[in-house]
Amino acid sequence: MRIIVERALRQNWERLFSYALRLSGNRDGAADLLQSCATKALAAAPPEEGERIRAWLFAILRNTWIDEHRRGVTGALAAEEAPEDESWRHDDRLIAAITVRQALERLDPLHREIVELVDLAGFRYGEAADILGVPVGTVMSRLSRARLSLLNAIEGGAIRPFAARQRKRASNT
Amino acid sequence: MTDPEQLSWTTLNAYVDGELKPDVAAKVAAALADDREAAARVATLTKLRATVKAASPVPAPPPLVLPQARPPMTRWLPWTAAACFALLIGAASLGIAYRQSPGSSLSAAVAAHQSWLAQSPASAAPRLGVELAGAEAGALPDLSLASLRLVHLSLDPAGRGGGGMLAGYVGPNGCRVGLWIAPVEEALPLHPAVQDRDGLAIRAWHDERASYAVLGRGIDAARLDGIAALVARITRDEPGVPREQVAVLAEARSVGPACLG
């Protein structure tokens, strides 16, 4: 059992740290969180289905963080609705590495977390739902809202890719 | 006519992520052919997903240091510890309690700890091992919450009232912390208190069963306080360890300077 968990920890160490960094907001906190996660995982029985071990590790990491830092806050996050469809006004040309990076920094932690799990760690909706302890429908609405926020943050960001800025200037003259 | 939910923002997100059932995905794909704005949203989502991945490099993690499984060599340690502990507690319960100044018991503790420190770190062999059939394993405190692992035991059976025992723990960076357990000495306080001497940081106290001293050389005071509080809690059989106490231990470990011992 320990060998299986050790292997999963080694395979996911980088991504677990990335998630821990998102949760804790600083490297030292993330390192401690990761170590606590590893200790707990090695002391526990992993799920029998091998494909569930990865999500299980992320869930342990998240629960450890909640236990240590955010007890009592999760209830306030329960009520979420799908975003209202609004008129489409986003410009694809603004989506670039620098604008996205800036927008991610400004994203609400709850939204950043779901983006981290689905877009970066590559979890399916069902797996993310298990990790977060919410229904799949909540994952869907939270993710779609997070992406809308991300697009709005990109749109409202001060920095624009050079090419898009040039084009915008040209269209204004 | 298209169902408005069929091309909702949430559905389009699930479509782009490949999370829709095949029949639903096929309907969405067909509807997209007739809806330019929805198709534009899908294009935006696709680009956004790809850019988020590209724009978020994985940060360099700390080295992978997994907690060690108990090495086979030290399998006997809990049994020996239990035996020693039982001997000491037995002596104390028979009423053989010290009535002397705390300095005398701590002298033995200091001597035992310095003797251990004088050994090379690799020398984990006990000076004296005692094994009793039927002894209850795990009688010595498990200090893994303080990242300390039991590696050493030494017994001083010549002292009055049954002598004392030093359990040696080592931290992840090789820092050595001793736990001295001796028969009850009422001159010591009921809660861990500073009793530093002879170049060692010491926290000592007693309860109704035994006296305790936690010793370290050059160890951060806050960390030693945390370890002593943890030992006191465990030896009093108090259930669980409060999260605040765990957090204090973790903070002292990460903030304090490295120990010299």
Which ipTM value was assigned to this complex? 0.79
Nearest to B179 by CA among B198, B197, B192: B192
**How many folded domains does chain B comprise?**
2
What's the mean pLDDT in A114-141?
Answer: 94
Interface contact A15-B67, CB threshold 8 A: no
> Mean of the pLDDT values across residues A12-41?
90
Q: What distance in Å separates the CA atoms of residue B245 and residue B173, rounded to the nearest whole number?
A: 21
Between these two residues, B198 and A128, which has the higher pLDDT value?
A: A128
Same domain, B88 and B42: no
B55-104: pLDDT as tens digits: 888 788 888 777 665 554 445 555 666 665 666 566 555 544 444 455 56
B107 and B195 share a domain? yes
Nearest-Cα distance to chain A for B45, in Å, is 8
B 85-124 residues with CB below 8 A of A?
none
Average pLDDT, chain B: 75
Tell me if chain A has a CB within 8 Å of the CB of B3: no
Q: Is B46 on the interface with A (CB under 8 A)?
A: no
- Put simply, the answer to whether B67 touches A97 (Cβ < 8 Å) is no
Domains, chain A, ranges and CATH?
1-71 (1.10.1740.10), 84-173 (1.10.10.10)
**Alpha-carbon span B96 to B138, nearest angstrom:** 24
Question: Given an 8 Å threshold on Cβ–Cβ distance, is B55 in contact with A9?
Answer: no
Are B27 and B127 in a shared domain? no
Specify whether the CB–CB gap between A150 and A100 falls below 8 A.
Answer: yes
Q: What is the pLDDT of residue A25?
A: 85
**Residue from B44, B246, B251, B253 to probe the interface with A (highest A Cβ count within 10 Å):** B44
Across the range A37-52, mean pLDDT stands at 88
In this predicted structure, what is the pLDDT of residue A166? 52
**Taking all residues of chain A, what is their mean pLDDT, rounded to a whole number?**
82
Residues B93 and B209 occupy one common structural domain: yes
Read off the pLDDT of each residue in A23-47 and give the average, rounded to a whole number. 89
B63 found inside a domain: no
Q: Name the residue with higher pLDDT: A139 or A75.
A: A139
Asked if B108 and B198 count as a contact pair (C-beta separation under 8 A), the reply is no
Give the domain extent around B32.
Answer: 8-54
Higher pLDDT among residues B70 and B237, named by residue:
B237
Nearest Cα residue to B151 out of B181, B183, B119: B119
Position with higher pLDDT, A83 vs B169:
B169
Chain B CB contacts of A100 below 8 Å = 48, 51-52, 55
pLDDT at B48: 94
Token pair listed for B12:
């389009």
More confident position, B258 or B4: B4
Which chain A residues are Cβ-neighbours of B13 within 8 angstroms? 140, 143-144, 147
Q: Does A68 contact B at CB distance below 8 Å?
A: yes
Q: Using the beta-carbon criterion (under 8 Å), do B59 and A17 form an inter-chain contact?
A: yes
Q: In which band, very low, low, confident or very high, does the pLDDT at A15 lie, cut at 50, 70 and 90?
A: very high
Q: Report how far residue A143's alpha carbon sits from residue A58's, in angstroms, rounded to the nearest whole number.
A: 17
In this structure, the answer to whether residues B23 and B91 fall within a common structural domain is no
Read off the pLDDT of each residue in B217-230 and give the average, rounded to a whole number. Answer: 87
pLDDT of A140 strictly over 60: yes
Is B261 a domain residue?
A: no
The gap between the terminal CA atoms of chain A, to the nearest Å, is 67
Task: Tell whether the model's pLDDT for residue B174 goes beyond 60.
Answer: yes
Q: Is the residue at B132 inside a domain?
A: yes
Q: Which residues of A touch B51 (CB under 8 A)?
A: 95-97, 100
Q: Where are the alpha helices (DSSP H) in B55-133?
A: 77-93, 102-118
The pLDDT, as a whole number, for residue B125 is: 41
Query: Is residue B51 predicted with pLDDT exceeding 90?
Result: yes
Q: What is the pLDDT of residue B15?
A: 96
B42: nearest CA partner in chain A: A92
Q: In what order do the strands lie in the sheet with B211-216?
A: B149-156, B164-170, B176-182, B211-216, B201-206, B193-194
C-alpha A92: how far from its chain's center? Answer: 22
Is B103 or A138 the better-scoring residue by pLDDT? A138
- State the sign of the Cα–Cα–Cα–Cα dihedral A43, A47, A53, A59: negative
Shortest CA distance from B43: residue in chain A: A92
Spatial neighbors of A93 by CB under 8 A, at least 6 apart, are A161, A163, A164, A167
Q: What is the percentage of chain B residues whose pLDDT exceeds 90?
A: 22
Question: Is there a contact between B14 and B28 (Cβ–Cβ < 8 Å)?
Answer: no
B67 belongs to a structural domain? no
CA distance A133 to A51: 18
Pair A95, B51: CB distance under 8 Å: yes
Question: Comparing A80-89, A128-137, B199-208, B223-232, which segment has the lowest mean pLDDT?
Answer: A80-89
pTM of the model: 0.51
- Taking the Cβ of residue B240 and every Cβ of chain A, the question of whether any pair is shorter than 8 Å is answered with no
Q: Out of A5-9, A80-84, B110-114, B133-137, which region has the weakest mean confidence (pLDDT)? A: B133-137
